[in-house]
Amino acid sequence: MTTAPFAITSTTIVTGDHAGTVLPDHTIVVGDSGLIEAVGPTTSVVVAPEYARVDGTGKFVAPGLINAHAHLFSDGKPLSPILTNKKLEGPVSKFFHSPIGTVIAKRRTRTNVETQLHSGVTTIRSLGDVAYEVAAVRDEITAGKCPGPRVLASGPLLAVSGGHGAPVIALVSDNPWDARKNVRINLRNGVDVIKIAATGGVTDARTIGEAGRPQMTEEEMTAICDEAHRAGLVVAAHAESLAGVKAALRAGVDTIEHGSEMDNEIIDLFGDNPRALHGRSALVPTLMAALPLVKLDRADTGITPIVAANAEIVLDRIISAVHAAQKNGIRMGMGTDSSVTYVTHYNTWREIDYVIRYAGLSPASAFHAATGANAAILGIDDVTGSVSVGKSADLVLVDANPLDDLRTFTNPNMVVMAGTRIERPGVQRFDDLDAQLDSF
């Protein structure tokens, strides 16, 4: 890692804007503040002699990717059945919240955020942590104690009794005032975002159809949104059915995670949501959470028939959500749901690939969702999300234009995090898992 002023010269910038603008023969100057000092055609940008030079000839620079939906407690290999066994949920939760469990969760978080960074992700939003281990690692990164991307941490998500994520990665409540209390507990522990489980989910469903079944009432979600918004925090809702998405939007959630088919009320609420923090809401689809479970043979994945059936239902709904969002101009971001089965921390590019190949987005729109649009949705577009003067130098230097070849993110030349250069970043891969993902 090197932190010193430098310039990437004579390179092609892939801006990440909605139009897919690409700027050939440009130079980017990064100051020792870690901010971009100048960007422009190579012939018009002056690079001071004391600045290091990185020759970008024949290469491409893109804004660092933003992963708006991550978990960091696991590595993306199939989740152990122990984690989803109802009989064991008490002891498993107790273990993860014990001193040794906390140490393990924190160590995994450090490893996983670094893996994401080394694969080009310069901002991560966690949405469902064991406790406050992600917030703690965020503080270590900010203090310069360990390397990592910019981290926005949710802490444990908020769920109802027996709901999605409970009890291992959730605080539970069953009425609006206790739901507010859980928001306050998370605020006291320094979270950046509130995550709720509006409906059931795929990984821990025990019956077919449970994924997407409404769990939290609109009244409870309204209380949570009000409490979070009073503190200036956005609310992200896991919601996998029309009824669940509608109730969450009415309550004022700022992002719908996963999503469903939409009716007119839902479409209107995304664009104009009086209860949302900034008056509108956005969709973060996460195809990766379901697509591999549908495409791969159950003999290979080892998932239960219930998980497989729910994944199929949810995947259809997520794809419908992307289609409706595209048709109706609804803001869309990108998130992977990393840590769940088949979602590793180095395969973020596959989510962009999936929305292009399976949900019909153009490469430019999909890449924009993962960069500029995500920055705006997360409220950090004044800091990151584009290669612009005054923004944090969060950049990826790759061999190919990602709009033509996303696989170039498997082997970046360099990742720049807030002006710190990581040359030839490497990650630990799971070859068997990647081979399966490469099969469709």
Summarize as ranges the residues that interact with Zn ion (CB under 5 A).
337
| Residue with smallest beta-carbon separation from Zn ion | 337
| Closer of 11 and 348 to Zn ion (Cβ) | 348
Q: Which two tokens stand for residue 131?
A: 């406790």
Angstrom CA distances, 164 to 9, 213, 405, stand at 49, 10, 36
| Closer of 7 and 284 to Zn ion (Cβ) | 284
* d(C-alpha 44, C-alpha 53), whole Å: 16
Report, in Å, the least distance between residue 70 CB and Zn ion: 8
Report, in Å, the least distance between residue 127 CB and Zn ion: 5
Report, in Å, the least distance between residue 287 CB and Zn ion: 13
Report, in Å, the least distance between residue 311 CB and Zn ion: 14
| Closer of 212 and 419 to Zn ion (Cβ) | 212
Q: Which two tokens stand for residue 207?
A: 């019956």
Burial (Cβ within 10 Å: 0-12, 13-18, ≥19) of residue 258:
buried
Query: Are 210 and 310 spatial neighbours (Cβ–Cβ below 8 Å)?
Result: yes
* d(C-alpha 213, C-alpha 200), whole Å: 5
Angstrom CA distances, 361 to 200, 305, 398, stand at 27, 30, 22
Using DSSP, state whether 438 is helix, strand or coil: coil
* d(C-alpha 164, C-alpha 38), whole Å: 46
| Closer of 210 and 337 to Zn ion (Cβ) | 337
Report, in Å, the least distance between residue 435 CB and Zn ion: 25
Report, in Å, the least distance between residue 195 CB and Zn ion: 8
| Closer of 337 and 394 to Zn ion (Cβ) | 337
Closest CA to 364 of 118, 70, 62: 62
Q: Which two tokens stand for residue 332?
A: 């869309």
| Closer of 26 and 69 to Zn ion (Cβ) | 69
| Closer of 220 and 337 to Zn ion (Cβ) | 337
Report, in Å, the least distance between residue 47 CB and Zn ion: 43
Query: Are 363 and 25 spatial neighbours (Cβ–Cβ below 8 Å)?
Result: no
Query: Are 29 and 36 spatial neighbours (Cβ–Cβ below 8 Å)?
Result: yes
